[in-house]
């Protein structure tokens, strides 16, 4: 068995491979004892007497038992089952919401210690145990240790008990009638109730009262609703059922959809608690249903390749929503369009060289796959197409059911600030099925999103610089584990990227550092050989951290074990830079994204 393990890196700036670099680890791992070993982490129940473990208070003792350390960094990623209690972080902890991570950076004098605290609230509906881990690093050494605690977690008092059929939040029995024969509706949301705060696909907190209308369509119709004489904080939502999670269109001034005959609900709601009078205009144009496509004796499911496309990421099948039963001539529909920034945060304002995730949700109501084509068209305020953010004619056999897909694109460095629109069109064999539009802006403000757009581990990287077989589970006979990152806002200046690899006991195993330069975005990765090296004989949970210009940027854990079987991220199909579709059985349901 070899006594060294090769760590290699490569970078792709834009879409051009710049070259390969190799780093060979020499010598033995550093001593297992470090000046930070005296650090500790504890957790205490902090909730009310009826549910003390619904709120947890964490205390981290950050201790240095050696000489002065000029740069110590701590990263504590919150478990998905909790949220930070606002204002609870003390001792200089900073919360990065996009990463769901608490950060601390600073110096520790010789033989000193400080205490950091924060509190979290439960998001669960059933009791369970959770583990929270902090990564503590001496950046200049470098070495890291981990400190983790496991605690009981119970629902907050008053949290709803899970039930197979949750009651709808909207009271649709009180909805007001709406008809295509009457174009104008005047009202005041101040007279309504605040029952709903979030709608599927929409990024806003609709904490104000709402007014609900019921619209009956007797035939397939293209419908447009426009808010007139309304304050800007009032928004429109169109539901294909009495459920805010079945939102098929929304907007802050107008919303449009094309749908078959059935019952729809229109909601006027207030963002951030707003309320007030409005005038709502309804327009409808009957549509001739398209000719049904010829029957296919043996419809094929899309070919799936085990590859990762950062130009289309996190493609999730969703559980069917209670939509009106379509006619056989209308098998697929574009249900929703929304935008997100990196790390799954809904966003409608972006900076140059930031990544925009252009999400779509499509339902195939038939039991067999149907051929569809999707266009993403981004235009500026003068109607000019923005090629770098658009994509034309993605063709695929869409499986039965509801799925979401997205087209990530980096904002060009020279794209001017202003208002832009994204129009997504769904086409069938006989032409346009329906389309949806959302607006967003490019601003010149200081960026607020982290430079790291994506960070994954995989079993390889293809010739285009994209990860293949994304997974967090590796076998001793796997060739290597790759740590791959997609960086945004490069700005044409050098940036230092460093990877640090840690064994299951927290010791630094290997590291590599290099400067990269790119105008806008670039890919950079590092890998650690497994097969035939001492790494194969070190089973357990490893960690790899990545650093950007000396600051912690991300952490990924992965397992190496003799009995491990790869649990791949959603498989994808399509050529480089093309959209793709997730058919994996473990894709999250609609309720898990987008985060409100």
- The CATH number given to whatever domain includes residue 55 is 2.60.40.740
Q: Which of 153, 180, 207 is the last residue of a domain?
A: 153
Angle at Cα 525 formed by Cα 523 and Cα 530, nearest 5°?
155
- The CATH number given to whatever domain includes residue 498 is 2.60.40.1930
Q: What is the mean pLDDT of residues 427-450?
A: 77
> Does residue 145 sit within a domain?
yes
Flag whether pLDDT at 120 surpasses 70.
Answer: yes
Does 16 lie in the same domain as 39? no
| Pair of tokens at residue 422 | 């994204």
- Confidence bin at 119 (pLDDT 50/70/90): very high
Q: What is the pLDDT of residues 131-170, one digit of tens each?
A: 888 988 888 876 788 888 888 888 888 766 544 334 346 8
| Pair of tokens at residue 390 | 């658009």
Start-to-end CA span in the chain (Å): 51
Flag whether pLDDT at 260 surpasses 80.
Answer: no
Closest CA to 30 of 589, 506, 524, 543: 506
Does 418 lie in the same domain as 330? yes
Does 42 lie in the same domain as 23? no
Does 178 lie in the same domain as 144? no
Q: Which of 92, 121, 153 is the last residue of a domain?
A: 153
> Does residue 419 sit within a domain?
yes
Does 176 lie in the same domain as 124? no
> Does residue 578 sit within a domain?
no
Q: What is the pLDDT of residues 183-195, one digit of tens each?
A: 889 889 988 888 8
Does 491 lie in the same domain as 434? no
Flag whether pLDDT at 266 surpasses 90.
Answer: yes
pLDDT confidence of residue 315: 38
> Does residue 165 sit within a domain?
no
Strand partners, 62: 114
The answer for 169, left when phi > 0, alpha when psi is -120 to 50, beta otherwise, is alpha
Does 216 lie in the same domain as 128? no
Flag whether pLDDT at 199 surpasses 60.
Answer: yes
Does 45 lie in the same domain as 10? no
pLDDT confidence of residue 566: 36
pLDDT confidence of residue 585: 34
Q: Could you give the number of structural domains in the chain?
A: 4
pLDDT confidence of residue 287: 65
Q: What is the pLDDT of residues 445-467, one digit of tens each?
A: 555 567 887 888 999 888 777 78
Closest CA to 522 of 447, 417, 442, 451: 451
Share of the chain above pLDDT 70, in %: 76
> Does residue 297 sit within a domain?
no
- The CATH number given to whatever domain includes residue 337 is 2.60.40.2550
Judged by DSSP in three states, 343 sits in helix
Flag whether pLDDT at 593 surpasses 60.
Answer: no
> Does residue 590 sit within a domain?
no
| CB 467 within 8 Å of CB 572 | no
HSE (side-chain half, CA atoms, 13 Å) at 14: 9
pLDDT confidence of residue 161: 52
pTM of the predicted model, to two decimals? 0.40
Flag whether pLDDT at 357 surpasses 70.
Answer: yes
Does 273 lie in the same domain as 189? yes
Enclosing domain of residue 96? 35-153
- Confidence bin at 562 (pLDDT 50/70/90): low
Q: What is the mean pLDDT of residues 32-52?
A: 82
Does 191 lie in the same domain as 121? no
Closest CA to 495 of 508, 481, 482, 485: 485
Q: Which range is most confident: 416-430, 441-455, 550-564?
A: 416-430
**Does residue 504 or residue 241 have the better pLDDT?**
504
Q: How far apart are CA 563 and CA 243, in angstroms?
A: 44
pLDDT confidence of residue 197: 83
Closest CA to 510 of 2, 4, 1: 4
Q: How far apart are CA 518 and CA 344, in angstroms?
A: 24
Does 221 lie in the same domain as 186? yes
> Does residue 587 sit within a domain?
no
Does 486 lie in the same domain as 437? no
> Does residue 455 sit within a domain?
no
**Does residue 298 or residue 150 have the better pLDDT?**
150
Flag whether pLDDT at 319 surpasses 60.
Answer: no
């Amino acid at each position: 068995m070899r006594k060294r393990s090769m760590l290699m890196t490569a970078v792709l700036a834009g879409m051009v491979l710049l070259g390969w670099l190799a780093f060979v680890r020499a010598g033995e791992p550093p001593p297992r004892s470090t000046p930070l070993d005296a650090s500790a982490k504890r957790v205490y129940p902090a909730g009310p007497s009826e549910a003390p473990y619904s709120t947890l208070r964490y205390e981290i003792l950050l201790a240095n038992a050696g000489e002065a350390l000029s740069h110590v960094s701590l990263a504590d990623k919150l478990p998905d089952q909790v949220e930070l209690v606002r204002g609870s972080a003390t001792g200089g902890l900073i919360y990065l919401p996009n990463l769901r991570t608490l950060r601390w950076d600073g110096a520790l004098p010789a033989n000193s210690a400080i205490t950091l605290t924060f509190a979290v609230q439960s998001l669960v509906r059933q009791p369970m145990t959770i583990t929270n881990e902090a990564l503590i690093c001496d950046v200049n050494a470098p070495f890291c240790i981990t400190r983790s605690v496991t605690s009981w977690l119970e629902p907050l008092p008053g949290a709803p008990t899970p039930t197979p059929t949750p009651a709808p939040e909207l009271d649709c029995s009180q909805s007001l009638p709406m008809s295509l024969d009457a174009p104008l509706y005047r009202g005041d949301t101040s007279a309504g109730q605040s029952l709903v705060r979030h709608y599927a696909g929409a990024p806003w907190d609709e904490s104000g009262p709402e007014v609900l209308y019921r619209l009956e369509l007797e035939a397939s119709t293209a419908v447009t609703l426009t808010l007139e004489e309304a304050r800007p904080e009032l928004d429109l939502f169109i539901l294909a059922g009495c459920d805010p999670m079945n939102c098929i269109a929304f907007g802050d001034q107008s919303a449009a959809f094309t749908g078959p005959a059935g019952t729809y609900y229109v909601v006027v709601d207030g963002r951030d608690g707003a309320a007030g009078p409005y005038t709502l205009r309804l327009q409808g144009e009957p549509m001739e249903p398209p000719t049904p496509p010829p029957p296919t004796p043996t419809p094929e499911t899309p070919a799936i390749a085990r590859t990762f496309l950062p130009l289309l990421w996190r493609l999730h099948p969703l559980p069917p929503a209670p939509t009106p039963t379509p006619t056989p001539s209308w098998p697929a529909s574009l249900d929703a369009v929304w935008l997100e920034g990196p790390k799954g945060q809904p966003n409608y304002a972006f900076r140059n060289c930031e990544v925009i995730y252009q999400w779509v949700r499509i339902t195939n109501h038939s039991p067999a796959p149907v051929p569809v084509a999707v266009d993403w068209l981004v235009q500026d305020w003068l109607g000019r197409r923005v090629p770098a953010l658009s994509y034309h004619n993605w063709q695929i056999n869409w499986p039965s059911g509801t799925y979401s897909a997205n087209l990530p694109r980096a904002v060009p460095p020279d794209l001017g600030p202003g208002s832009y629109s994204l129009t997504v069109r769904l086409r069938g064999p006989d032409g346009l099925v329906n389309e949806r539009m959302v607006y967003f802006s490019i601003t010149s403000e200081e960026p607020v999103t982290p430079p790291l757009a994506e960070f994954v581990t995989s079993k390889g990287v293809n010739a285009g610089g994209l990860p293949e077989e994304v997974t967090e589970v590796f076998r001793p006979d796997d060739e290597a584990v790759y740590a791959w990152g997609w960086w945004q806002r490069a700005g044409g200046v050098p940036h230092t990227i460093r990877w640090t690899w840690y064994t299951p006991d927290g010791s630094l195993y290997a590291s590599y550092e290099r400067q990269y330069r790119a105008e806008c975005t670039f890919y950079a990765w590092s890998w650690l050989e497994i097969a035939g090296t001492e790494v194969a004989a070190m089973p357990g949970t490893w960690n790899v951290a990545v650093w950007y210009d000396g600051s912690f940027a991300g952490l990924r854990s992965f397992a190496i074990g003799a009995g491990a079987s790869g649990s791949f991220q959603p498989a994808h199909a399509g050529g480089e830079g093309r959209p793709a579709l997730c058919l994996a059985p473990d894709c999250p349901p609609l309720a898990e994204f987008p985060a409100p």
